[in-house]
Amino acid sequence: MAQGAAKKVLILGGDGYLGWPTAMHLAKLGYKVAAVDNYFRRWACHQLNVEPLVDVPNMQIRAELYESITDQTIHIAVGDITNYEFLRKVFEGRIFGEQWGEGPPDAVVHYAEQPSAPYSMIDQEKAAFTLTNNLVGTANLVHAVKEYEPACHIVKLGTMGVYGTPNIDIEEGYLDVEHKGRKHTFLFPKCPGSLYHLTKAQDADLLYFYVRIWDIRVTDLNQGPVYGIETEEALHEERLLTIFNYDDVFGTVFNRFLAQAAAGFPLTVYGKGEQIRGYINIKDTLACVELSVRNPADRGQYRVFNQFVETFTVNELAEKVVQAGKNLDIDVEIKSIPNPRREAEEHYYNPTHTGLLELGLEPHYLTEEVATGMLSFVMNYKGKIQQGCILPKISWT
């Protein structure tokens, strides 16, 4: 941990796909870590009958197990940050006990948002929940920072999806514009493709507003789709693995393809399969978050990093899984299906992503060996894969 780095880190959404591995990762590096979650993702998986691939215990049990193995403590609280009185207790520190100590954190990693584009498009109820959860939760966080520690660094998980697919290069957060002989720097224009992505654009504008008004410090990590499940901190202990979804609601595309291949189901390529996105290994997500925490934004700075490592088309990802299958003597087929989403299927895509590399990110690439290893891991659980979770059931239109 670098000199001057945050010592107390609060993780909101600490039970999630990224939140739990981040908690273990930062604890291992010597940070004092607390994790908060309202268990929305678990509840939604039950409600929609899209259970994760691996059964993992709740946060409290995992934290106790992790401490028994490593002697590293992860402080746990269950609650909803859209309830400001609960969040105040979290920032006061009294909810975690004496070992955490009173007082606010030095940094907050904000994962506590409804994370699924398809979920946000199911119906009015899910849309309203997404808006309320994502925007009220973020607004409450800003007010808690102002009330308890204005120097606290907010590291918020954004998404590359806020940019859409413009026919120009995507810069890292900002765009210099010259118009009628005058120049100005704006946040890069946003064109989100789902209500979820719209809330991520809105929370970015909200944070940028409060940075300018209250001089708080924010790093917004516009992340591409994540793949992977195993991290070093899981210590070969299944119960410490993260939540791995392979369904059409919460599963990211490469994770879905791996489960489909393991189950002997054709890979579901949406439409033409030429949609291009920037992808990142879950191990690099953890590294990017720690780099951001260790190198905080300045007071009054809204800093944006485009957080991905490589770009692929959906077809290229499918071919990687086909090759991984060959390496394991598994016959994997690809099947194009009607696209349930409203999106450009052929487009220009060239986003900048230099900021995190300059801070020291050492990327993990999606090599044939990596893809084969991931498919081999998922094969261990192929008997648990529910084929009824594979085909998409949610349409944008």
Backbone angles phi, psi at 267, to 5 degrees: -65, 130
* 354 token code pair: 């230099």
Q: Which long-range contacts (CB under 8 A, 24 or more apart) does 147-151 make?
A: 147/88, 147/91, 148/88, 148/91, 148/92, 148/103, 148/104, 149/91, 149/103, 149/104, 149/105, 149/106, 150/214, 150/215, 150/216, 150/299, 151/217, 151/299
Of the residues 156, 200, 283, 320, which is catalytic? Answer: 200
Q: Where are the alpha helices (DSSP H) in the chain?
A: 19-28, 40-48, 59-70, 84-92, 117-120, 124-131, 137-148, 195-214, 253-262, 282-294, 314-327, 355-359, 368-379
CA distance 293 to 395: 38
CA distance 220 to 141: 14
**Residue pair 201/190 in contact by the 8 Å Cβ criterion:** yes
CA distance 231 to 255: 15
CA distance 166 to 351: 10
* 251 token code pair: 């599963």
Of the residues 17, 163, 196, 270, which is catalytic? Answer: 196
If one counts every other C-beta atom within 10 angstroms of the C-beta of residue 333, the result is 13
CA distance 227 to 308: 11
Of the residues 159, 165, 199, 313, which is catalytic? Answer: 159
Active site residue 196: yes
Backbone angles phi, psi at 364, to 5 degrees: -100, 125
**Residue pair 222/162 in contact by the 8 Å Cβ criterion:** yes
CA distance 191 to 174: 14
Cβ burial, residue 113 (10 Å; 0-12/13-18/19+): buried
CA distance 350 to 362: 21
**Residue pair 230/188 in contact by the 8 Å Cβ criterion:** no
Catalytic residues: 159, 196, 200
